[in-house]
């Protein structure tokens, strides 16, 4: 574990990530957890900043090798490496210590994973089941509203559940605060607004403008885990593939837009991607099949 000096430096680094880089609390916690894994690896009772300075390239390689031997996925190891490099770069930039060994480690190559989406009919089935498979009618309407906003607006689950009542005020756009606290405006379809309004009318709790839009059974802001569990149940009921998660609805939104001829730049803006490279992955999906699905669902 870190000694007092190192604990203070870790806290300053966290504050920098929050105030200067505008990282979310979830991202910051992931960075800190990754760095603490490495500190624990050093296997000293009180790890000092000098211990971090003295680690050579062999020490870094041994750490990542041990992680791989434990069966940790390459994507997770790549993220851990990125977190540790970030901390060492911060230490270097602030003239605390300089250790270039970590920057000689090459990031593990990751397999190219294409976004996996659902066809239109399946989306309708998912939303229909979500509405009916509830003991409380208002919860069914809530779940329907959440799934339609994920699919209809391409939101991350964290973005949808962080919405307050006043954020959806019957205009044509909603303001979304995404990764890195970056704001973007996303058009909202009338059907999405209708589903949200039906949920609001049936919700047994008083919905205040400055408070959460989507509430749990006890009146608290809804947890992403609840939506994840709901989709898991739907997946089992409809015998759907394992990739059906809240994020799969975002992929489906983007893939369907591309199939309809929307340009990549516009999709990039809607999704809030900082780089066009992230959006370009959708061009490798089988668009011909999706276009056929659209024609079947919306014939001329």
- Residues identified as active-site: 156, 179, 247, 250, 273, 282
Neighbours of 259 (CB within 10 A): 21
Neighbours of 193 (CB within 10 A): 20
Read off the tokens for 174.
């909603």
Note whether 101 and 58 are within 8 A (CB): no
What is the Cα 217 distance to its own chain's centre? 24
DSSP per-residue string spanning 97-158:
----GGGGSPPPP----------HHHHHHHHHHHHHS-SSHHHHHHHHHHHHHHHHH---HH
Read off the tokens for 171.
């205009």
């Amino acid at each position: 574990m870190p000694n007092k000096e190192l604990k203070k430096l870790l806290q300053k680094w966290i504050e920098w990530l929050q105030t200067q880089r505008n990282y979310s609390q979830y991202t910051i916690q992931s960075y800190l957890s990754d760095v603490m894994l490495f500190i624990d690896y050093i296997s000293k009772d009180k790890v000092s900043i000098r211990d971090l300075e003295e680690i050579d390239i062999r020490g870094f390689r041994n750490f990542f090798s041990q992680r791989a031997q434990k069966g940790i996925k390459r994507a997770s190891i790549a993220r851990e490496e990125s977190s540790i490099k970030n901390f060492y770069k911060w230490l270097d930039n602030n003239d605390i210590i300089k250790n270039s060994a970590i920057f000689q480690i090459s990031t593990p190559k990751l397999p190219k994973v294409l976004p996996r989406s659902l066809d239109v009919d399946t989306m309708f089935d998912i939303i229909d089941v979500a509405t009916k498979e509830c003991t409380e009618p208002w919860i069914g309407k809530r779940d329907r509203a959440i799934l339609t906003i994920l699919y209809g607006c391409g939101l991350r689950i964290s973005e949808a559940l962080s919405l307050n009542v006043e954020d959806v005020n019957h205009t044509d756009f909603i303001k979304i605060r995404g990764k890195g606290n970056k704001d973007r405006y996303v058009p909202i379809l009338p059907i999405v607004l209708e589903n949200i309004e039906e949920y609001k009318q049936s919700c047994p709790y008083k919905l205040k403008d400055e408070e959460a839009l989507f509430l749990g059974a006890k009146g608290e802001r809804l947890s992403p885990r609840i939506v994840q569990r709901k989709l898991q149940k739907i997946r089992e009921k409809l015998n759907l593939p394992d990739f059906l998660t809240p994020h799969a609805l975002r992929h489906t939104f983007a893939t369907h837009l591309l199939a309809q001829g929307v340009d990549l730049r516009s999709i990039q803006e809607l999704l809030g991607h900082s780089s066009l490279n992230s959006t370009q992955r959708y061009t490798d999906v089988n668009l011909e099949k999706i276009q056929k699905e659209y024609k079947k669902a919306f014939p001329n």
